[in-house]
Amino acid sequence: MSKEKEILEEEIQETETDAEDTTEATEQLEETVSKKQYDELNDKFVRLAAEYDNFRKRSLRERESAHSDAVSHAVKALLPTYDNLERALKVETSDAEYKKGVEMTMTQLVDSLKNIGVEKITADVGTEFDPNFHNAVMHIENEELGENVIAEIFQQGFKIGNKVIRHAMVQVAN
């Protein structure tokens, strides 16, 4: 009976060893599966975070663009008023109070435009013509002025930042 007992004990030890190996293999398998799941979830999280960041940046750009477009549109509607006030200031009048009122109105309009970020485009006689900001409607030959220089300004141009609302209408020399 001792031989049977030894055989039985060996089989029990082998079964226990197999069970330990199986348990160890199962643990390794579970660890591998857990690692894969972690990697997949981490990858999804990183992608989601990147998508959200892109969405946030795109939304910010769209809001800024919408604001700029709205201001542009409103300013375009006010520019004829600016032009008329500018013409009124050029007309000689004997009524000093009338002229003062027009000047005050023009000053207030210019200040309001500055407060919303609108700037006049530099278009002075003798400055270099820049097609990005100026619209040449006439050309003259004038020896006193240099090549490609503004000779006369017909209509003031305006911009917001780098965006042109209205090009300055000018006459270009030579």
The arithmetic mean of pLDDT across residues 127-134, rounded, is: 94
The arithmetic mean of pLDDT across residues 148-158, rounded, is: 94
Residue 2 has pLDDT above 90, yes or no: no
The arithmetic mean of pLDDT across residues 69-96, rounded, is: 94
- Which of the four pLDDT bands, split at 50, 70 and 90, describes residue 18? low
Q: Go through the domains of the chain in sequence order and give each one's CATH number.
A: 118-174 (2.30.22.10)
Exposure b/e, 3-37, CB count within 10 A at least 16 = b: eeeeeeeeeeeeeeeeeeeeeeeeeeeeeeeeeee
C-alpha span between 173 and 143 (Å, rounded): 9
Query: For residue 129, what pLDDT is reported?
Result: 95
- Which of the four pLDDT bands, split at 50, 70 and 90, describes residue 24? confident
Query: For residue 23, what pLDDT is reported?
Result: 79
Q: What percent of the chain has pLDDT over 70?
A: 97
Q: Can you give the pTM of this predicted structure?
A: 0.66
Residue 19 has pLDDT above 70, yes or no: no
Q: What is the mean pLDDT of the chain?
A: 90
Question: How far apart, in Å, are the Cα atoms of 45 and each of 30, 38, 49, 56?
Answer: 22, 10, 6, 16
